[in-house]
């Protein structure tokens, strides 16, 4: 076949899956080229499978990638001619982005413009969209009912016509803010080029074209800095929502260190204090508190407590469903999502797209690694046998108990001891799911144990002791997944995880990716029990590492 190119690594199939031959000399270049518009499905040793979806295409379009560029990429790296149906489908789906436009019209309020009469009739009769529209103002124009801007965007995404929202934002209360050149702590500070690019890709003109969307950056690449750069562009009161008290403290430290904001401008809305200020930091857990399952979300009033010009959703891939509901009412506020991965285990990626906004910027992990902004990492999985007695216990246990039996395989303690000897002198984190197992590991290692029950003040003391090298390592429960600023950590041993969550894998890998002064590589170890559900979950988590371009070595049975 004349169009056959043997060195090319891609096989594009008519069902819009794309196979990547890992051992091809052009595989790495091809992977980096297709990641912006294709989602990784599975990644065994030799052939990786990607899928092109409407949402992956629309996110790529929103970040400035044309459908022609997507098709050209597939043609450039394809081993065989790509099916014309795939090229046509990419073009058709890409063209749908922006056929519906939300805007403001003089004396009409919010209006929906559509591209042609056929689409207008389709939307006017659609059972999801029609109830959100008021009277028809012309062949191609509808008035939008009050208060349904977010719901309309959700409905349009659901039926495959994502809206380009140009209606702009309400003016927030002014917040003069300047980024420092010398940190308050004494060292020089400069926003990196990619961080400014991300902030500007989000903000754009500050009104119609920018102001809503998601920035995707690796853990350790400075998403907090991007948030502060956006605040410096917006110059308006800001509400920051994050995952934990520890994360709140980190945001406060960074704002005081790297901006000229005075301490009294930064307020904490938490279980201890219910203050609001020009910059207010709160947790998702606080906002979603209610006294009973059917009770009111009593703290949602925070969203209307001030004239916020910007709302920052830290770790937006963990945004709770109730916060999506209130966000649907906040479309007149600028909304910035920060995350290391757009993957949501609950499948609500479309709601992130509709209500927070499309992906505005995505920096490949390996690209930042090559520039020295994050550490290189080696990822290794150890597969461990269980005793015959424990294999039988696993086989007879109810399904809901099997994961814990596998996770607490006693052989894991022995391997942790071996790894500590191998990695002696390094800065080590041991992280897992179950407290009894973690307490035993803390005893084995002599490392301090931090769990959800550890008081916040004690956590901060132990984190500081690790930073000061007073302790060589820490044993962490799931509290170690999020916003733990431990830049010297370079070895992480994962003894159990959350049912194969790619979100969790992103967070845990990120704990050891801060660049090291001596350029040393990070080590990321995962311990998996053989012939158990942990093997299946490990394969799922491995998708994330492969998606980011990391090699994933599996050591033999132990």
Orientation angle between helical segments 223-234 and 245-258, nearest 10 degrees? 60
Matching fold, domains 193-363 and 371-557: yes
The residue among 270, 188, 252 whose CA lies nearest residue 460 is 252
162 alpha carbon, distance to own chain's centre: 21
pLDDT tens for the 558 residues of the chain, in order: 458 899 999 999 999 999 999 899 999 899 989 989 998 887 777 888 999 999 999 999 988 899 999 999 999 999 999 999 999 999 999 999 999 999 998 788 899 999 999 999 999 999 999 999 999 999 999 999 989 999 999 999 999 999 999 999 999 999 999 999 999 988 999 999 999 999 999 998 766 678 999 999 987 889 999 999 999 999 999 999 998 888 899 899 999 999 999 999 999 999 888 999 999 999 999 999 998 888 899 999 999 999 999 999 998 988 898 998 899 999 999 999 999 888 787 888 999 999 999 999 988 777 888 888 988 888 899 999 999 999 999 999 999 899 999 999 999 999 999 999 999 999 999 999 999 999 999 999 999 999 989 998 898 899 899 989 999 999 999 887 665 677 788 999 999 887 556 667 777 777 787 877 777 889 999 999 999 999 888 877 777 777 666 777 888 677
C-alpha separations of 460 from 83, 280, 463 in Å: 56, 21, 5
Q: What is the pLDDT of residue 502?
A: 66
For the chain, how far is it from start to end, CA to CA, in angstroms? 48
Q: Does domain 371-557 have CATH number 3.90.1150.10?
A: no
Question: In the chain, where are the structural domains located?
Answer: 10-96, 100-165, 193-363, 371-557
Determine the CATH number of domain 193-363: 3.40.50.300
List, as own/partner pairs, every contact residues 390-399 make where C-beta atoms lie below 8 angstroms and the sequence separation is at least 24, other chains included.
391/531, 394/531, 394/532
- In sequence order, what E strands does 166-294 have? 212-216, 238-242, 266-269, 279-283
Contact 54, 160 (CB under 8 A): yes
Q: Which residue has the tokens 């995707």?
A: 216
């Amino acid at each position: 076949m004349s169009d056959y190119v043997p060195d090319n690594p891609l096989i594009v199939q008519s069902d819009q899956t794309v196979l990547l031959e890992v051992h091809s000399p052009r595989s790495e270049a091809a992977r980096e080229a297709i990641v912006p518009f294709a989602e990784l499905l599975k990644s065994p040793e030799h052939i990786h499978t990607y899928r092109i979806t409407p949402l992956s295409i629309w996110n790529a379009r929103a970040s400035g990638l044309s459908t022609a560029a997507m098709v050209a990429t597939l043609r450039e790296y394809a081993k065989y001619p790509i099916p014309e149906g795939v090229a046509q489908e990419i073009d058709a789906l890409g063209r749908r982005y922006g056929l519906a436009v939300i805007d403001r019209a003089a004396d009409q309020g919010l209006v929906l413009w559509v591209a042609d009469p056929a689409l207008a009739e389709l939307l006017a009769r659609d059972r999801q969209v029609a109830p959100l529209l008021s009277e028809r103002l012309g062949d191609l124009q509808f008035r939008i009912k009050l208060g349904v801007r977010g719901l309309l965007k959700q409905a349009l995404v659901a039926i495959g016509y994502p809206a380009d929202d140009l209606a702009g934002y309400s003016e927030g209360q002014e917040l003069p803010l300047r980024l420092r050149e010398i940190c308050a702590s004494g060292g020089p500070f400069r926003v990196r080029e990619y961080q400014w690019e991300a902030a500007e890709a989000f903000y754009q003109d500050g009104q119609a074209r920018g102001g809503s969307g998601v920035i995707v950056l690796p853990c350790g690449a400075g998403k907090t800095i991007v948030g502060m750069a956006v605040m410096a562009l917006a110059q308006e009161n800001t509400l920051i929502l994050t995952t934990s008290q520890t994360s709140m403290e980190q945001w406060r430290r960074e704002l005081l260190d790297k901006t000229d904001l005075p301490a009294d401008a930064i307020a904490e809305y938490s279980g201890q204090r219910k203050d609001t200020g020009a910059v207010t930091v709160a947790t998702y857990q606080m906002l979603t508190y209610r006294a009973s399952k059917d009770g009111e979300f009593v703290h949602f009033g925070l969203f209307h407590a001030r004239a916020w010009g910007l709302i920052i959703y830290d770790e937006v891939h963990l945004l709770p469903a109730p916060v999506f509901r209130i966000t649907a009412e906040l479309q007149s506020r600028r909304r910035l999502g920060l995350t290391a991965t757009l993957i949501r285990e609950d499948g609500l990626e479309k709601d992130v797209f509709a209500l927070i906004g499309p992906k505005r910027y995505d920096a490949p992990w390996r690209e930042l690694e090559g520039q020295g902004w994050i550490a290189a990492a080696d990822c290794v999985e150890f597969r461990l046998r269980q005793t015959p007695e424990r294999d039988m216990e696993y086989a007879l246990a109810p399904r809901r108990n099997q994961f814990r039996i596998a996770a607490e395989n006693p052989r894991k303690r022995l391997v942790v001891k071996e790894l500590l000897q191998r990695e002696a002198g390094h800065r080590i984190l041991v992280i897992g799911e179950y407290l009894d197992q973690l307490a035993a590991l803390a005893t084995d290692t002599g490392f301090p144990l931090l769990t959800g029950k550890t008081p916040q003040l004690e956590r901060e003391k132990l984190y500081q002791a690790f930073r000061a090298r007073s302790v060589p390592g820490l044993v962490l429960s799931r509290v170690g997944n999020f916003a733990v600023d431990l830049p010297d950590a370079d070895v992480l041993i994962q003894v159990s995880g959350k049912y194969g969550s790619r979100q969790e894998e992103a967070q845990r890998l990120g704990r050891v990716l801060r660049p090291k002064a001596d350029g040393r590589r990070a080590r990321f170890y995962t311990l998996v029990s053989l012939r158990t559900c942990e093997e299946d979950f490990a394969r799922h988590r491995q998708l994330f590492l492969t998606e980011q371009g990391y090699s994933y070595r599996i050591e033999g049975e132990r």
